[in-house]
Amino acid sequence: MSKSSKQIQNAKKSTPRLKIPINVLIILMICGTIFITSGGIYDLINKPGTMETSYYTGTKTTISLTGEQTLTESIFSLIMTGLIFVGLWLVNRAAQVTYDRGKANTSLGLGMVCIVLGLGFLYYIINIRNGG
């Protein structure tokens, strides 16, 4: 082995690496997913208003019926999607608890309530936007 190849190998070994805990990476990925699915990129590009004036009545509404998304809808969607992820985490936690049946049942119940509420409110917003 030549002297230069040993120097290259030593340089590779001594290169400092940034070690990020796996839990932090998972949380960052979940937050990124919630941000994208709630319309965060659309909000950054188009900069929509928080309210829109209704064409028919002239009143201000927080939900746009013209096909554009308001900032209020994005924030509501972000909160409901986060609620769904919290519900999924609670259900997963309930499946991992084996020593305390009451705690597992409570986590499972709360998780299911969070999931149903999140999906229900998102469905409600979709129905409003579709005119129903």
Confidence of residue 19 (pLDDT cuts 50, 70, 90): confident
- What are 49-102's pLDDT values in tens digits? 777 766 666 667 666 656 678 888 889 999 999 999 999 999 999 998 888 899
Structure tokens that stand for 3 in this block:
């002297």
Structure tokens that stand for 129 in this block:
């936007």
User: Residue 13 contacts by C-beta under 8 Å, 6 or more apart in sequence?
Assistant: none
Q: What is the pTM of this model?
A: 0.74
Dmax over CA atoms of the chain, in Å, equals: 83
Whether 31 contacts 79, CB under 8 Å: no
Confidence of residue 132 (pLDDT cuts 50, 70, 90): low
Whether 43 contacts 74, CB under 8 Å: yes
